[in-house]
Amino acid sequence: MRDLCSARHPPRFPEGLAYFYGKVLECASFCAEPYGGKESVLGELTMDDVKVTALLPEQRYTIASVAGHAMYERANPFYEHFLGGHIDMSQCQNEQYDERTVRVTGPSYVPATELRVKLEGAGKIGERYIGIVGVRDPYTIANIDLATQWARQQVAERFGESGYELHFMVYGRNAILGDPRAFAHDARP
């Protein structure tokens, strides 16, 4: 009976290597150099190691890029915690397997004594809008403070006095010589 079960359930990959494999491939080419979006990568998991290869010809995995990824979003670069345990990467060995591939050995899985869940996430706290307006009218430019004050008043009438932030940045005002009133005494006929 034991042989029949073995045939139906092939040997499992070492948990430390399997978790490490998933951790690196989840971030895809973010672990490669030079940095560039989520490009395709190829991973190979064996009973002895993990190999990761960047598929974009301009990218490559390096010992430094894979080791540096261990520091991403964690206080301790040697441990990746998750429900049910953690990966201990303190004994990892990274080897440059070929020009674009890194071979990793040595991660181990440490089961947890109790189940804990790490909650991450974000909730909506509001919305952001950025509006850029160009003004060419000389009258409006001369009265830009009145125009922004009027706009602020319109927003308050529509949305109330609180629950939002409203900022105006007037770009270009006095950009060349500063406030023209400072030079009023230099005016020449």
Q: Does residue 144 sit within a domain? A: yes
Interval 12-33: pLDDT, tens: 899 999 999 988 888 887 888 8
Rounded CA separation 123/117 (Å): 18
Do 152 and 64 fall within a single domain? no
The answer, yes or no, to whether residue 71 has pLDDT greater than 50, is: yes
Q: Does residue 6 sit within a domain? A: yes
User: For the range 172-181, what are the long-range contacts, defined as Cβ-Cβ under 8 Å and sequence gap of 24 or more?
Assistant: 173/144
Compute how many other C-beta atoms are within 10 angstroms of the C-beta atom of residue 92: 20
Number of domains within the chain: 2
> Domain residues for 178?
138-183
Helix (H, G, I), strand (E, B), or coil: what is residue 156? helix
Dihedral angle over CA of 21, 114, 74, 16, nearest 10: -20
Interval 83-102: pLDDT, tens: 889 999 999 999 999 999 99
